[in-house]
Amino acid sequence: MKTPLLILLLLVSLIGNTQPPAPDYIPANHTSIKIQPILHGTLMLEWNGEVIYADPYGGASRFENLPAPSMILITDIHGDHLNPETLLAIKTEKATFVVPQAVADQLPKEITSKVIVMKNGESRKVNDILITAVPMYNLPESADSRHTKGRGNGYVINLGGKNIYLSGDTEDITEMRALKDIDVAFVCMNLPYTMDIDQAASAVLEFKPSVVYPFHYRGQAGLNDVEGFKKLVSEGSDQIEVRLRNWYSE
């Protein structure tokens, strides 16, 4: 009689917990911005009826209890950013895709939603939300680097008067350090693909976002030391709030 229950418990343990952590809220004009970490570099922003998915990845189960997106931002062509399996499994019928050209060239042909291509340095309103595409790339610049300059986009999104920065896969480039008036920043830090915590902390202390979330921090050696990142930032400034969340509930 206990066998079915034991099998069920075993399956649950193998599948793991795919439920995201509790959301955060940022005060903004009209209504608060809901920030929902999902997995790795994937998150949802919800504000004033708009639902924005960034780099949807991880399979349909991670999005089951979330509202369908009105906009999807994709930063680059790698599978943890442009993930066809996830895109084809979630509801994208009413979503506008904002992507770099390299991503547009590789989107699944089954996706018939509106696609807007943006390049580094371009700003435009999408669904009446101002989006700016910013560079993301590895240092030193080279034609054979994992992330070449101009191929992918980071994004600055203005929601309710708040500027939200999504780094994409980048190192501590000049363009990141020159950012101004960023209210919330999502900053990657995983080796050997992007940067270490010292580079990330140094850049954050230069462009001074009000709030920073370390995300995309799983690399070849496992999870990066986000507690160490927080210590570096907190020692350098008492004006930047570092929010640590569990981006890997697997």
**In the chain, domain spans:** 19-242
Query: What size, in residues, is the chain?
Result: 250
Q: Which fold has domain 19-242?
A: Metallo-beta-lactamase; Chain A (3.60.15)
* Predicted pLDDT at 250: 62
Evaluate the CA torsion angle 190, 195, 200, 202 in order and state its sign: positive
Q: What is the pLDDT of residues 154-208, one digit of tens each?
A: 999 999 999 999 999 999 999 999 999 999 999 999 999 999 999 999 999 999 9
* Predicted pLDDT at 144: 75
* Predicted pLDDT at 15: 41
Cα–Cα distance between 50 and 226 in angstroms, integer? 30
* Predicted pLDDT at 227: 98
What does the DSSP 8-state code read for residue 79? T
* Predicted pLDDT at 18: 62
Mean pLDDT of the chain: 92
* Predicted pLDDT at 194: 95
Cα–Cα distance between 8 and 105 in angstroms, integer? 42
What does the DSSP 8-state code read for residue 110? T
> How is residue 26 written in tokens?
């940022």
Low-confidence ranges of the chain (pLDDT < 50): 1-16
Q: How many CB atoms lie within 10 A of CB 205?
A: 17
* Predicted pLDDT at 87: 97
* Predicted pLDDT at 12: 36
CA distances 199 to 138, 189, 190, Å, are 12, 8, 11
